């Protein structure tokens, strides 16, 4: 990469045709640590640092939303020490964010059932929500999926809608896809055009099941802590070359 090959250096990305919303399954932290004979916690620490790096990069590129999978409804099955370590990293990140997000003009939003989290974490989420609300809608927004599951999100939305039907406030036959989306954690967000999965696994892992219906899916063997700006440039270049048909025909096929 560089002047010899004619490729652009990371950070000199052509900003046309970029997605508005990028979603990332931050996978591979454990393997990253294992390869260095480090504990898994070191991998998550490197993963959290990388979230900061990639969020900053997305913001600089003019991408509007970055949504990451930090902790799934299934991740509670991991050893309590690992779960506690991830929660501590989130706490640390939020304490720092309260200080810096207004200055850096970064809004944060949490998607998932945060009601079961520890008190301090919940208070920090309330605090970052307050700061985010004061920042304009033109600011970059990072969405952190925490105690999030795609199926859980859809079931909760269905329950909320059913309750309104039972109360006589809504009519089942009047529900549209756009209406239903307003019951999801992601209400108001555009769907991600690009879903990135580092770590090489070819699955969606219960992430944004509704929202990724037409997302372009980019999988790379690079592990999340190693997924740097140059790796992001590659994913974005790949995305730009995609022919997005949404079940229809491409311009070429129409002729
Ligand atoms: C998946 O890698 C990663 C997770 C389950 C945790 C991700 C959490 C963080 C990066 C920390 C907190 C985040 C923020 C936003 C500050 P894995 O452990 O399944 O990796 P493996 O497949 O290599 O074992």
Q: Each residue of 196-253: pLDDT tens digit? A: 999 999 999 999 999 999 999 999 999 999 999 999 999 999 999 998 777 887 766 6
7 part of a folded domain: no
CB 149 near ligand 1, within 6 Å: no
CB 19 near ligand 1, within 6 Å: no
- At 83, list the tokens: 């779960």
3-state helix, strand, coil in the chain (%, to 5): 45, 15, 40
CATH of the domain at 35: 3.40.1180.10
Active-site positions read 27, 75
188 within 8 A of 20, measured Cβ to Cβ: no
CB 192 near ligand 1, within 6 Å: no
CB 85 near ligand 1, within 6 Å: no
164 C-alpha to ligand 1 centroid (Å): 37
- Domain containing 121 equals 21-239
115-136 pLDDT, tens digit per residue, is 999 899 999 999 999 999 999 8
Q: Report the atom number in ligand 1 closest to the C-alpha of 69.
A: 7
- At 202, list the tokens: 């070819």
Whole-model pTM over 0.85: yes
Element (H, E) at 55: helix 40-61
Q: Report the atom number in ligand 1 closest to the C-alpha of 68.
A: 15
36 part of a folded domain: yes
29 C-alpha to ligand 1 centroid (Å): 5
245 part of a folded domain: no
The number of distinct structural domains making up the chain is 1
65 part of a folded domain: yes
Q: Considering only CA atoms, which residue is closest to atom 22 of ligand 1?
A: 28
Q: Considering only CA atoms, which residue is closest to atom 8 of ligand 1?
A: 70
CB 73 near ligand 1, within 6 Å: no
255 part of a folded domain: no
* Mean model confidence pLDDT for the chain: 93
170 C-alpha to ligand 1 centroid (Å): 40
- Using the predicted structure, report yes or no on whether residue 15 has a pLDDT greater than 90: no
- Using the predicted structure, report yes or no on whether residue 6 has a pLDDT greater than 50: no
Q: Residue 10 — very low, low, confident or very high, per pLDDT cuts 50/70/90?
A: low
Q: Residue 11 — very low, low, confident or very high, per pLDDT cuts 50/70/90?
A: low
- Using the predicted structure, report yes or no on whether residue 166 has a pLDDT greater than 70: yes
230 C-alpha to ligand 1 centroid (Å): 21
45-72 pLDDT, tens digit per residue, is 999 999 999 999 999 999 999 999 999 9
CB 199 near ligand 1, within 6 Å: yes
186 C-alpha to ligand 1 centroid (Å): 21
90-108 pLDDT, tens digit per residue, is 999 999 999 999 999 999 9
Q: What is the pLDDT of residue 254?
A: 66
Q: Considering only CA atoms, which residue is closest to atom 6 of ligand 1?
A: 70
Nearest to 139 by CA among 107, 179, 178: 107
253 part of a folded domain: no
Q: DSSP label at 221?
A: S
66 part of a folded domain: yes
Query: How far is the CA of 38 from the CAs of 29, 30, 35, 63, 73, in angstroms?
Result: 11, 9, 8, 33, 26
């Amino acid at each position: 990469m560089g002047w010899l090959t004619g490729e652009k250096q990371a950070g000199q990305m052509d900003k046309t045709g970029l997605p508005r919303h990028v979603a990332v399954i931050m996978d591979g932290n454990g393997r990253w640590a294992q390869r260095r004979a480090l504990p898994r916690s070191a991998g998550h620490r490197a993963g959290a640092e990388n979230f900061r790096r990639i969020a900053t990069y997305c913001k600089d590129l003019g991408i509007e939303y970055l949504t990451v999978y930090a902790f799934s409804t299934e991740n509670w099955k991991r050893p309590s020490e690992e779960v506690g370590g991830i929660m501590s990293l989130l706490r640390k990140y939020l304490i720092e964010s309260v200080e810096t997000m207004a200055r850096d003009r970064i809004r944060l939003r949490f998607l998932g059932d945060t009601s079961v989290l520890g008190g301090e974490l919940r208070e920090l989420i309330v605090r970052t929500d307050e700061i985010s609300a004061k920042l304009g809608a033109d600011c970059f927004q990072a969405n952190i999926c925490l105690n999030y599951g795609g199926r859980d999100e859809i079931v909760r939305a269905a329950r909320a809608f059913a309750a309104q039907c039972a109360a006589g406030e809504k009519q089942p036959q009047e529900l549209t896809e756009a209406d239903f989306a307003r019951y999801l954690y992601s209400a108001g967000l555009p769907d991600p055009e690009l879903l990135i999965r580092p770590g090489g696994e070819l699955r969606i892992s219960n992430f944004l099941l509704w929202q990724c219906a037409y997302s372009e899916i980019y999988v790379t063997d690079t592990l999340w802590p190693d997924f740097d700006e140059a790796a992001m440039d590659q994913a974005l270049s790949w995305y730009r070359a995609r022919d997005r048909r949404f079940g229809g025909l491409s311009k070429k096929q129409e002729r």
